Amino acid sequence: MLQATELTKKYGKFTALNALNLSVKKGDIFCLLGANGAGKSTTINLFLNFIEPTGGKATINALDVTQHGKATKKLLSYIPENLMLYPNLTGLENLDFFCGLGGKSYSKDHLEELLKQSGLQTNFLHKRVSNYSKGMRQKVGIALARAREASVLLLDEPTSGLDPKASNEFSELLLDMKDKGVATLMATHDLFRAKDTGTHIGIMKEGILIEQFASDDVSFQDLEKLYLKHMHN
């Protein structure tokens, strides 16, 4: 489970994240919405321990990420907007390489199976990643999360720039991870996907989480109205 308690990040006098309280439980997909600069990536980077909080704390399975950096990183998988893969290696070779970095070694058959389960077309398994679309690269990211048996998924605008079909396929993969009990925190600009795929939605503005609710509690139209109302005020 992911928990932020009064989590704050200041840069000098500027507050990028202001006393965030948030919890994402097993099987939750928590979508963070908000305009550019609202503090979504800051939140994700704090959970990743890429940056240090100036106040409060971020925990994963009750472990403070600043004190248990190694242990908490083992629990999570991170998919940014553009997943960094080696373009001259195939999807399978990339997966093998990154599993190795995480101390895991799998047979070729198992790696192929993970990629197929993550929706990668069979004829692309052995093609160089330089030939992959963005959606295919994101599928390798999901395969890696499966291989790492991550219980937490941190996603920073993973579907930005994907066409609707690829975005839909990615959502299906997230729902599958959710069914396996993974806790997901996703920064996104896609209101439709947040409502469609998310179990919970938070709206951020100027470093503050101004609203959070279960996605079943709002219609898509109401979510859009609420979002726009906050962005105009």
Ligand X SMILES: Nc1ncnc2c1ncn2[C@@H]1O[C@H](COP(=O)(O)OP(=O)(O)OP(=O)(O)O)[C@@H](O)[C@H]1O
Residue by residue, DSSP assigns 183-222 as EEEEE-S-HHHHHHH-SEEEEEETTEEEEEEEGGGS-HHH
d(CA 177, CA 117): 11
Residue with tokens 């179990």: 199
Cβ 12 to ligand X shortest distance, Å: 8
Residues 184-213, one symbol each (x = binds ligand X by CB under 6 A, - = not), give ---x--------------------------
Query: Contact at 8 Å (CB) between 49 and 72?
Result: yes
Question: Interface with ligand X by CB under 6 A: which range of 31-39, 67-75, 91-99, 224-232?
Answer: 31-39
Asked if 40 touches ligand X (CB under 6 A), the answer is: yes
Question: 54 or 88: whose CB is closer to ligand X?
Answer: 54
Cβ 204 to ligand X shortest distance, Å: 6
Cβ 88 to ligand X shortest distance, Å: 29
Question: 27 or 56: whose CB is closer to ligand X?
Answer: 56
d(CA 86, CA 94): 6
Applying CB under 6 A, the residues found at the interface with ligand X are: 11, 14, 16, 34, 36-42, 187
